[in-house]
Amino acid sequence: MVGVDLQGIDGELNVTTFDTYLHLVKVAEPVGPRDVMRALRVSSPAVVHRHLQKLVDLGWVDKDAYGRYFVKRKVGFKGYVWVGRRLVSRSVLFSAVFAVLLSLFLAILLLHVALGSPIDTSYALLTLVTIMATVFFFVEVLRPRKRAPRETIRT
């Protein structure tokens, strides 16, 4: 997987082109423009063809002998990581990691309280920092982000 900087190409990637690319990665098999059109609910195959051609020009997608398109290479996008065939925000991964750590720390803390053993100050501080990090990343994940039809995605 290669991280890409489109500053030399266009500097930005249209949302429909981006969604087309994600769809091709998700299906993991060659598909025609009409299949993409139906899946993404785009108005016409000509519109999809234009976005597919842009992906071919970028070198991310290729076309087989039957006119179907397939992913030539997975590309990394700033702030995201591939998990299988899904592109996941790093904030989601960080929030999941901190949530698991927080659960573990709270379970240990409850065990200490149940057994009546003293709680070390550094452990309490570590738990507090983990709570703050978990809340920060969950807020970041849950913050609404609207995608306008003509919004661009920087890679």
CB 152 within 8 A of CB 15: yes
The position carrying tokens 């039957």 is 66
The per-residue pLDDT for 17 is: 87
pLDDT digit of tens for each residue in the chain (155 aa)? 444 444 334 445 678 888 899 999 989 899 888 888 889 898 888 888 899 999 998 889 999 888 899 998 888 877 788 888 888 888 888 889 999 999 999 999 889 889 988 888 888 899 899 999 999 988 888 876 654 434 445 44
Q: What integer pLDDT is reported at residue 86 of this predicted model?
A: 84
Tens-digit pLDDT profile for residues 27-66: 989 988 888 888 989 888 888 889 999 999 888 999 988 8
Residue 144: predicted pLDDT: 66
Instruction: Note whether 45 and 33 are within 8 A (CB).
Output: yes
The CATH topology of domain 2-76 is Arc Repressor Mutant, subunit A (1.10.10)
- Per-residue tokens: 123: 């452990």
Vertex 28: Cα angle to 25 and 29 (nearest 5) = 130
Domains of the chain, by residue range, sit at 2-76, 83-142
